[in-house]
Amino acid sequence: MSWWNNADDESEASSSSSQEVLFKDKDELAKKGHQLYCEVMNKTSNKDQKDQIRKTHEDSGTKFTDPQFPANSNSLAKDWKEMEYSMQKEWKTFTFKRIDEIFPQPIKVFNDISPNDILQGKLGDCYFLSTLSAIAEFPKRIEKCFDTQEYQPSGCYTVNIYDMGVETDYIVDDYFPCNKDGTIAFSGPKVESGITEMWVLLLEKGWAKRFGSYWAIDAGLTEDSLRDLTGAPCENVEIEDEKLWEKVHTANSKDYIMTAGSTGDDGCGDLVSEVGLITLHAYAIINAQEVKTKRGVERLLNIRNPWGGTEWTGEWSDSSSLWTPEIKKKLGWEDKDDGSFWMSFEDFKHYFSGVTICRVHDDYNYQAMHKNQKQGDFSVFKVNLAKGGDTYFMVTHADSRRFGGDDNYEYSPLRIVVAKVVGNELERVAGIASAFQRDTWIQCNLPAGDYLVYVEIAWVTDQTDQYGFSVYSSSPITLSDATFKESTFLERVYNVKLAQKIGTKRPIAAGMDFYEVLLDGENPETGKFFEGIYFDTIVNSTKDSVLEIEVLHKSFDNVELYGQFKGRDSYKYVIKPGENRGAVKVKVDLTESVDAPVSIRKNIKPAKN
C-alpha cells in the first residue's frame, strides 16, 4: 500500500493556522497530540506511520487530529462560491465534534454490517452511499476497506481506497461535521441495540479527504466509487441493451455488486415521483430473480434506496396484491419500510437509465502501479500469470475531482494491447481503444505464462501525465516494467503469422500475396472498440522471383505509418524469394473514424543465382 498526501501547499498552510482555532477551547493534551503527530511524520517511514501515530497517541493519552484534513471549514469546501447561497449559509454554521461527543457509547467500527446502517445527510453523495449500500450486502467486502477495524480511543483510523488503481491508505481522525444542534450533518449511522457503528462516517470522510473536501464529493458516478472501494472493474450497461437482463441475472448469480441510476429532470434526489422513485438518484440492485406467476414467468429486481424510507409504489411493491405466500417464501420477502423494494424488470427499464456492474471476486489477486508517461511515449508492462485464468488489465486516469472540477481537465484517449510471450515471439491476445473514460479495462481468459501489455495515451490535458495500471486475476500475479525500443513492440506483435491468420488476402502474382488487417471499430464479441491498429504484410513464397513493391496510401486522414516509416505516406520493399515484409499503421485520433485505402505498385524480376 502506498501513502497519499492529499494536502497541497495552501492546504498545509491553512491546516497549520487552523490548529490554533481548533484547539483554543481544548486542553493542553490536544496541542501536545498535534506535536506528537508531526514528530512521528518526520521520524518514521510511510509504512510505519499509521501504526506509530496511533501508538504515540495511545501512550500519551492524547487524541489524534489530522492536520492534512483539519476539523474546520477548509475541509468542508475549498471554493465556497461554487455553492448556492442558501447552502453556503447553512454549511458555515457547521461545527466539528468527536464521535463520542455526537453519539452515545458503546461505539464500534462495525457491529452487524448492513445496508440499513446508512443514513444520508445534507451532502449530495447519493452515488457514494448507494455504492456502500450495495457493497454492504457482503459485509466482508466492507471490512476489507479498513485497516483499523476496532474502536480507537486515540481517534486514529485508516481506510483503504484505490487511487488510480493503487490501494492507498487514508488516515482520518474522528471529527465529523455537525449541525448547530450538535447532530451529524452528513451521513450518519443507525444506532441499533444502543451501539453506534462508525464505518459509514469513516469511509465518507476518507473519500472526502482523498479529494480535498466534503463539497468535492457532492454528486458523482457509482462506477468510480465501486472501482475505488473494491479494486474491481466496472461495466456500464445501457437500458436499451438487449442482453441487459441476462447480464444482470448472471451478475447476481456471481455475487457481483450492482447499482442503477433513475431517470428524471432534477439533481440528486430533489424530486419524488408519483411512483415513489427519486429522480436522478443512485440505487443498489441486491437481487434478480425469475418467478412463476399466473401471468407467466416474471423477471423481478430487488432494489434498495440508500436514503431508506422512500420506496416504489407500483406493481410488486410491498403493498402489491401480486405477492403470494409461495413467491414471498421464494424471495424472502418482508414488508418493511426500509428503502428496499421489488419491481418488475419491465418497470425498471421504464424508470431507470442503466446498470453498473462491479465484477468483484473475493478470491482474485491484484497488482498495480502508478506510471508517468509523457505525450508521445508508451509503456510496456510485464505480467506473469502463475496459473492462468480470468484476467483483467486496467488503466485508470487521475480522477477529475483531484483538479477541483477544472473544466480543462479531460480523460484522454488510450490504446491497450496484450501479447503473450512465446519463446522469442509475441502473439497478440487482445487490444482495446477508448476515449474520455476514467477507467478502461480489457478481459482475457489466459493460460499460465508471461505477457506484455502495451499502453499508449494521447493526452488531451496538461494537468498530469500520471495514470495507474493494474491487473486483476484468478491467477497469482507478478507485475513489473518492461523496456522496449520505439516501434519494436508493435512491429513484433503485428507480424506475418497474425496477418496470414486473420488478414484479408489480396493476390499480387503467383506465389506473392498482400495481407491487410484492420483492427478498428467495434469488436462484435465484446462490444468494445478494437485498438485502432492497421498492418499489412507482403509474402513472397516463390523460389526464383524478386518482388519490388511500393505501397501507397491514397488517404492519410487520421492514420500514420509507425516505426521506421513514420511521417511518410508510402513505403517500399525489395522482397527476395521466401521473405516477407510489412508495416504497421496506427490510428491517430481514437475518437474519429478513418479510411486508409492503399494502392500497390509492383515490379517482379528473376532472382539472381
**C-beta of residue 359 within 8 angstroms of C-beta of residue 237:** no
Distances (CA, A) of 66 to 43, 111, 406: 17, 25, 27
Question: For residue 606, is the peptide bond before it cis, meaning its omega torsion is within 30 degrees of 0?
Answer: no
DSSP annotation of 43 reads H
DSSP symbol at 387? E
**Cell numbers that stand for 17 in this block:** 493556522
CA 578 to CA 542: how far, in whole Å? 6
Q: Which residues of 307-338 are buried (b: 16+ CB within 10 A; e: fewer)?
A: bbebbbbbbbbbeeebbeeebeeebebeeeeb
The amino acid at residue 171 is I
Residue in 116, 178, 268, 281 annotated catalytic:
281
Task: Name residues whose C-beta falls within 8 Å of residue 383's C-beta, 6 or more positions apart in sequence.
Answer: 367, 393, 450, 451, 452, 453, 471, 477, 478, 479
Please name the helix (run of DSSP H) or strand (run of DSSP E) that holds residue 168, with its range, or none: strand 166-172
What does the CA dihedral 11, 13, 15, 20 come to, rounded to 10 degrees? -160
Of the candidates 111, 305, 495, 540, the residue annotated as catalytic is 305
Q: Are strands 2-3 and 166-172 parallel, antiparallel or unpaired?
A: parallel
Active site residue 126: yes
Distance CA 213, CA 215 (A): 5
Considering the candidates 126, 145, 268, 358, report the single residue annotated as catalytic: 126
Report how far residue 308's alpha carbon sits from residue 121's, in angstroms, rounded to the nearest whole number.
12
Task: Provide the 3-class DSSP secondary structure of residue 604.
Answer: strand
Residue whose C-alpha is closest to residue 551's, from 600, 508, 518, 516:
600
Task: Examine the residue annotation and report whether 281 is marked as an active-site residue of this protein.
Answer: yes
Q: State the Cα–Cα distance between residues 169 and 126, nearest whole angstrom.
A: 23
Report how many helices (DSSP H) and strands (DSSP E) the chain contains, helices first. 15, 30
Does the annotation count 553 as an active-site position? no
CA distances (Å), origin 63, targets 25, 28, 54, 102, 278 = 15, 11, 9, 16, 41
Could you tell me if 291 and 324 are in contact, meaning their C-beta atoms sit under 8 angstroms apart? no
First to last CA, the chain: 65
Round to whole Å and give the CA distance between 96 and 271: 30
Q: By C-alpha distance, which of 440, 363, 439, 391 is closest to 141?
A: 363
Q: Which residues are catalytic?
A: 126, 281, 305
